[in-house]
Amino acid sequence: MTRSAFPSRRAVLAALGAVAVAPARAQAAWPSRPVRLIVPLAPGGTADGTARLLADKLSGLWGQQVIVENRAGAAGIIGMEAIARAEPDGYTLGMGNINTVATNHLLRPKLSYDPLKDFTDIAWLTTSPLFLIVHPAVPAATAAEFVAYAKANPNKLSFASIGSGSSMHLAMEMLQQRTGIRLLHVPYKGMGAAVQDLIAGNVSSTLDITTMAMVHAGKLRALAVASDKRYPREPDVPSFGEQGLSGLELTTWLSLHAPAGLSPELTARINTDVNRVLAMPEVRAGIEKMNLDPIGGSPADLQAMLGRERSRYAELIRQAGITVD
């Protein structure tokens, strides 16, 4: 009996069926190996702390280790490049913040990645307001007095940031635009050196949240929280809204991303699991201990927030003529 050189109809259908179920089986098998979570910043900050809280709980949910990998340098560009260039298979995730996914492309025309095209947006993780913090020698007990003194003495007061174009720098530029004051910008390579100089009186002020620890230690003073209402975890600090600066909301936030091209199924699964983790009481407590507020929500929620932030920072950067070498 001669066997046909062509496969039977039954064989063709069986083969097509195998191809059809292969992606589903691969999807169901994820993750079958460790997942890396890239933090484009140095260890020790709020992004690193939040990433480690997520990694610990996601490892338990997924049955595979989630490894935090710090890839700091160049305003977060090194880490974001690593995320953008990875395979969109769910085994590389990354932390985002204002600089890396909202402003770097506005400040650096030759940026090596495109935050609008090179990432899959997964979840909005945290947010927190910034605080106007000064050295005790600054002759102001309120934000209103700070503004009045700065207006009467242009460029006499200074402010610290972690670099030109950083979220702290841009936030202070917003305050200056709103009030008409002029402060001397003193950029630092890291917050540690900035805080040391602020405590020593070598720089006058900053807009930050991590520095609140030094306020509680009695070494610095908080004049206001940059929001319309007082911050529940710092109820003794008056708001901008109380001091004639309503509508000036200055925040910092963290987000979660993957390389562009991650499947909708994996995006949805990771988003769901991240929301489960953010709802865990011990995770919420750990995030709130860093003076951050857990957010969560859908990828669409994150994309809407990113759209708002990119628009307002684009206008600020254009009006202030801010550039980064």
Distance between CA atoms of residues 262 and 20, nearest Å: 19
Q: Residues 270, 64: contact at Cβ < 8 Å? A: no
Residue with tokens 């909202």: 102
Q: Domain check: are 143 and 233 in the same one? A: yes
Residues 99 and 136 in one domain: no
Domain that holds residue 271: 33-128+251-320
Same domain? 118 vs 163: no
Is there a single domain that holds both residue 136 and residue 209?
yes
- 213-259 pLDDT per residue, tens: 999 999 999 999 999 999 999 999 999 999 999 999 999 999 999 99
In a domain, 187, yes or no: yes
- Are 121 and 135 part of one and the same domain? no
DSSP character at residue 2: P
Largest CA distance in the chain: 103
β-bridge pairing 184-187 and 205-208: unpaired
Q: Return the pLDDT at 18.
A: 46
Tell whether 138 and 236 lie within a shared domain: yes
Q: Of 8-22, 183-197, 284-298, which range is least confident?
A: 8-22
Same domain membership, residue 112 and residue 152: no
3-state secondary structure (DSSP) of residue 239 = strand
State the CATH number of the domain containing residue 151.
3.40.190.10
Question: Pick from 125, 120, 201: which is nearest to 160 by CA?
Answer: 201
Residue 191: Cβ within 10 Å count: 21
Q: What is the per-residue pLDDT across 22-57, written as a single tens digit (0 to 9) for each?
A: 444 445 589 999 999 999 998 888 999 999 999 999
> In terms of domains, do 230 and 175 share one?
yes
Number of folded domains that form the chain:
2
Q: What gap in Å lies between CA 278 and CA 289, rounded to an integer?
A: 14
List the structure tokens of 68: 């935090």
Range 204-212 average pLDDT: 93
- 305 and 266 in a common domain: yes
d(CA 120, CA 262): 6
Q: Minimal CA–CA distance to 221: which of 199, 203, 197, 202? A: 199
Structure confidence at residue 73 (pLDDT): 86
Tell me, what amino acid is at 16? Answer: L
Which DSSP state fits 279?
T
Contact status, residue 123 vs residue 256, Cβ threshold 8 Å: yes
